[in-house]
Structure formats: structure tokens, C-alpha cells
Chains A and B, each alone.
Chain A
Amino acid sequence: MRYLPKSPSERQEMLAAIGANSIEDLFRSIPEKFRLRTPLALPGPLSEVEIIQYFQARAAENARGFTSFLGAGAYQHLRSVVADSLVQRGEFLTSYTPYQAEISQGTLAAIFEFQTLMCQLAGQEVANASMYDGSTALTEAVLMAQRLTGRQFVLVARSVHPEYRQVLATYARNLGIQIKEIGFTESGQLDRSALTKDDLARAAAVVVQSPNFFGTLEEIPALADAAHAESALLITSITETVSLGVVRPPAEADIVALEAQSFGVSPSYGGPYVGVIATREKFMRQMPGRLAGQTTDAEGRRGFVLTLATREQHIRREKATSNICTNEALYALVATIHLCLLGKEGLREMATQNLAKSRFAAGELEKIPGVRRAFSGPFFNEFTLEFPRSVKMINSALLREKIIGPLALGTHYPELTKRGVLCVTETVPRAEIERLAAAVRKVLETPV
């Protein structure tokens, strides 16, 4: 379709119809002191060659040849070119969310497969067609719990990703939801003794992440029992979904909020990410977003429809379940293709390699005098180490060796200075782990 802007005579006609003399007339209600009377400070137009050169120069600023041990919500995993080439097909790449859904049977079938995979991995009965990202999925899960329980109070583990907690706090502030944070023990797990009966009895939900921000796995069944005893729900956030290849699914949780970036989406600067909410069937109507459903058409053939969209913003306006109307259909498709390529065995194999390599790395680093694991709880591919010096100082030395080191926890947890979270995925060769250990040893042996 060609885009034809309006001609001056058409503009005059439109202005005449609404009784205005000029475009300027339309802005008259804005006081003069707030009007911008100088041109915007934007660079001038560029030719095609100049644009290509500009972006080549920007791309050259990327960190090349670095080995990364950074996780904390964004994970580097093996990806297949198959997913990239399939999602770049025009039928998928150019289509926006299908509002006239049923004409896009292929898109709906792919979303249906995605939901099925997410349910199986999360141990839940129903999963939505995706959401913006893991942080908004977690926040929407809390709003769901608020609607389901009628309670305005949530207990949130401090070991939940700090940025996820910030997103939640932003929503909660204007919705009258009160948040109480629950600390952690020496194991790195939620401090269950801090969950009082009184707090639980007025809580909509207990919110945990597993593996949590320190890399430690939470005890989901016990936490679910504690929450359920006082009619509160348990919400589990999972930022590293590859863990589900070896870790029991959080089937006891009532709502699971996932970030599925680990499934074939590269950890690009700032996204995109792909969030998901999975839950029990009885809570389905309080779930935000939409669902692709399988049905039979008038001639008895298998077909797919978009269900629950009736509760979305474009239909229910201010009464919608959520004001998020957008999903990440293209990245849900990437995740679906990625998981289908890996298969059950492949995902398990990938997860097992993460377990093995992260344990090897922890072992090598703990041999260094003054370096020890900060938490004793079980971990998947991330773990927290305590160092004898500041993590930021260690990291700047590592960067000179082309190594991206641990995430400094002190930034988000003042009580956890000198502690850093390392992530070791299947993408890191053994030799690089040994190079990291040698580099850390060298930094720590250098006199300050």
C-alpha cells in the first residue's frame, strides 16, 4: 500500500470543516512560553551510502571477542540459524498481532504450539500467547493475584531480580498495592521464618524467583504450602528458562511468570524479550493477554481461534483485564522453533551442560585464596561468589583481558558488596573458564 500524505487543498478543506484557519490555530490553547520556536536539534538527512556507513560504524562499537560470565536476567545460549531464517519469512516477520485473527491460521497454530510448550515446561494448565517481558509478566501475575484474592498486599522475596521489583513497585504505587520484601538466608533462599501467619493471611501472593537473582533455587513446594495455608497464592518468576531442562517445574505455584529469552533470542542490548504467564485453568479468566485455542470449524476440520481477546483493551476499554494489548508473537515463534529443534533430549542436554560447566567454574574459582561461594543453596548456571576485593575493581581488570566478569551485587544490595553473580552457560568453553580463573587469581595477587 502506498502512503499518500494529504495535499494542501485537502488540509484547507479539513481545517474549514472544523472551523480553524490554520494548523497553528489548533495549538493556540498551549501557552506561548511552552511552545518550542526553534527547530529540533536533529541531524540532516543522509544518503543511502552514508546511512550504511553510519550503522557499520555503530556496529563496530560492539564488544567483539569478549567472553561473558554475565547473566542476571539475560542469557547467552546456543541459537540455530534455522530459527533466524524461518522467522524472517515475510508471513511471520511483517504481520502484527492478528486482530482479524482467524484468517491467520498459521500464526495462531504457532502461538498454540508455543502455549503448549510453555505449559509443559512450567507444569501449569494454561499459558498465554506471551507478554512484553519477564518483568511485566511478573507484575501482571501480581495484579492477577490481587483480583483473585481481593487482597491488596504482596510479599516479595528480595532475591527477585531488582529491576523486576522496580517494575512491580511502579505499578503497585498507583494501584494501592502494598509490598513487603522478605529477606534471604545463608543458603540464598527466601527466609521462610520471615513469612508470618498474619502477613500471609492478608497477602494476595508470595512472590519468588527460581533460580533467584543469586542463582539459588527456591523450595517451591514448601513455599506453596505456606502460602496456601493462609489462602495466599504463590507466584514464581523464572528468568532462566533453560533451567527447566533439569529442574522440577514449579507445578505447585499458582501463577508462573516466565522470561523465555533463553530460548533462541539473543541477549541484545535492551531486548526484545519474551514474557509469558502460565497458570491454573480455574484462574484463566483473570489472566491478561490472549490465548490461541484449538477448535473445529463448521466442516469439522481442525482450526485455531483467538480466545480471551474479548477481555482485552481494544474491546473492553478501561474494563480490560490488563492494559497490555501487545504480545511478542515473533519472539514466541523464535522460542517455539528453538525448542522444537532442541527437542526434549536436546533441552535436557543443554541444561546438563550448564550444570556441569557452572560447577566446574565454581570449583576453579573457589581454589583461589579468599574466594568462596556466598550462599550454600543449590544453583543452576548462576552462583554468587564472595571476593576479597571489590567486584568492580576485579571487573575492570578482567575487561582488559577481554572477559566480562560477574555482576556486582553491591549495586542493588548494599549489604552484599564484594559479592558477584557469575553465569556459565554451554556457550563457554572449558579453556575460557580456566582463563577466567587465572585472570581473577592474577588480579587478587596484585598488590592494591
Chain B
Amino acid sequence: MYPSEYRYTKDHEWIKPDGDSASIGITDYAQGELGDVVFVELPKIGTQIKAGASFGTIESVKAVSELFAPVSGEVTETNPALHDAPETVNKDPHGAAWLIKIKMSDPKEPGALMDAAAYQAYISEKAKETSA
């Protein structure tokens, strides 16, 4: 379910590092909580994003939520497919529905984030909190 080569944040974003570059998206857990995604608002190419700060919004039928940057860097690409098919976020959150690609300020930054096992433990705790 949660690819082992990705890193994860408590805000439910994933990052897939590739040398200096990285792709960023939201997790399967996040898309499930949001419900049907109807719009994704992404930054312009060249925008500097900052770890922990908002870089865009994602709108579902229920709410509009912030997208938080897992690491700092410069936006090099945004996913053009999401404009016409935002529901891709629900169908393939870890693959086709990547949101942005960035050039990282510090390629070591993702190392500090949760790995797949830690993230899965984190969300199962969340699930317990909700059911408690």
C-alpha cells in the first residue's frame, strides 16, 4: 500500500526523492479522509516552497484543505492531468496523482521524515483515536 522508497509527513503528504529532485503527493489515507476530490490548486513553476508551509489547496466535496510541503525547494513541474481529472487523486494517490516536482534545497531533508512502516503505525494510531 505505502511504497517503501517514499517518505511521509504527519500532514499526510508523501515525497519520492530522486537525487536532488523529488515528487510530492498526498497519501491514500488523506484521499480517503477528504472524499471525492474536485479541484487541486498548485503553485506556479519556479515558486519556492518551504517545509511545513502551505504550497496549494485541495478541494473535495466536503472541504478545502491546505497542502503542506514535506521539504523545502523550488517547484520544477506541476501535474497537468489534475486540472481536468482531479479524481485521479482518489484513484491513484501514490502514482499518477503526483502533485508537484521540486528541486530540493537539501536532498538530505527527506531522511528526517517517516518511512512507510512508521507512517502506517502513525495512521493506525489515528484510526484508534477516531474510533475511541
Interface residues of A (CB under 8 A from B): 285, 310-311, 315-316, 319
Closest Cβ neighbor of B54 among chain A residues:
A319
How far in angstroms is the closest Cβ of chain B from A313? 12
Asked if B39 and A285 sit within 8 Å, CB to CB, the answer is: yes
**A285–B56 alpha-carbon span in the complex (Å):** 13
**A319–B61 alpha-carbon span in the complex (Å):** 17
Which residues of B are found within 8 Å of A316, using beta-carbon distances? 63-64
How far in angstroms is the closest Cβ of chain A from B50? 17
Q: Which of B39, B41, B63, B66 contacts A315 (CB 8 A)?
A: B63
Interface mask (B27-69 → A, CB under 8 Å = 1, otherwise 0): 0000000000001010000000000000000011111101000
Interface SS of A by simple majority: helix
Q: Which of B59, B60, B62, B64 has the most CB atoms of chain A within a 10 A radius of its CB? A: B64
**A285–B61 alpha-carbon span in the complex (Å):** 14
Which residues of B are found within 8 Å of A310, using beta-carbon distances? 59-64
Which residues of A are found within 8 Å of B41, using beta-carbon distances? 285
**A311–B62 alpha-carbon span in the complex (Å):** 10
Interface SS of B by simple majority: strand
Question: Could you write out 13 A-B pairs with CB less than 8 Å apart?
Answer: A310-B59, A310-B60, A310-B61, A310-B62, A310-B63, A310-B64, A311-B59, A311-B64, A315-B63, A316-B63, A316-B64, A319-B64, A319-B66
Closest Cβ neighbor of B61 among chain A residues:
A310
**A110–B61 alpha-carbon span in the complex (Å):** 22
**A319–B54 alpha-carbon span in the complex (Å):** 11
Given A310-B60, A316-B64, 7 other A-B residues pairs in contact with their CB atoms under 8 A: A310-B59, A310-B64, A311-B59, A311-B64, A315-B63, A315-B64, A319-B66
How far in angstroms is the closest Cβ of chain B from A296? 15
Closest Cβ neighbor of A150 among chain B residues:
B44
How far in angstroms is the closest Cβ of chain B from A86? 32
Which residues of A are found within 8 Å of B62, using beta-carbon distances? 310
8 closest Cβ pairs, A-B complex? A310-B64, A310-B63, A311-B64, A315-B63, A316-B64, A310-B59, A285-B39, A285-B41
How far in angstroms is the closest Cβ of chain A from B98? 21
How far in angstroms is the closest Cβ of chain B from A50? 51
**A285–B58 alpha-carbon span in the complex (Å):** 12
How far in angstroms is the closest Cβ of chain A from B60? 8
Which residues of B are found within 8 Å of A285, using beta-carbon distances? 39, 41, 59
**A310–B63 alpha-carbon span in the complex (Å):** 5
How far in angstroms is the closest Cβ of chain B from A155? 24
How far in angstroms is the closest Cβ of chain B from A307? 9
Closest Cβ neighbor of A311 among chain B residues:
B64
How far in angstroms is the closest Cβ of chain B from A172? 25
**A240–B39 alpha-carbon span in the complex (Å):** 36
How far in angstroms is the closest Cβ of chain A from B68? 13
Which residues of B are found within 8 Å of A315, using beta-carbon distances? 63-64
How far in angstroms is the closest Cβ of chain B from A102? 11
**A319–B68 alpha-carbon span in the complex (Å):** 14
**A160–B66 alpha-carbon span in the complex (Å):** 37
Which residues of A are found within 8 Å of B59, using beta-carbon distances? 285, 310-311
Which residues of B are found within 8 Å of A319, using beta-carbon distances? 64, 66
How far in angstroms is the closest Cβ of chain B from A323? 15
How far in angstroms is the closest Cβ of chain B from A330? 27
Interface mask (B108-125 → A, CB under 8 Å = 1, otherwise 0): 000000000000000000
How far in angstroms is the closest Cβ of chain B from A91? 26
**A319–B62 alpha-carbon span in the complex (Å):** 15
Q: Which of A285, A310, A315 has the most CB atoms of chain B within a 10 A radius of its CB? A: A310
How far in angstroms is the closest Cβ of chain A from B107? 30
How far in angstroms is the closest Cβ of chain A from B82? 14
**A310–B60 alpha-carbon span in the complex (Å):** 8
Closest Cβ neighbor of B66 among chain A residues:
A319
**A315–B65 alpha-carbon span in the complex (Å):** 10
Closest Cβ neighbor of B57 among chain A residues:
A319
Closest Cβ neighbor of A315 among chain B residues:
B63
**A406–B85 alpha-carbon span in the complex (Å):** 56
How far in angstroms is the closest Cβ of chain B from A306? 11
Which residues of A are found within 8 Å of B61, using beta-carbon distances? 310
**A311–B63 alpha-carbon span in the complex (Å):** 7
**A51–B70 alpha-carbon span in the complex (Å):** 65
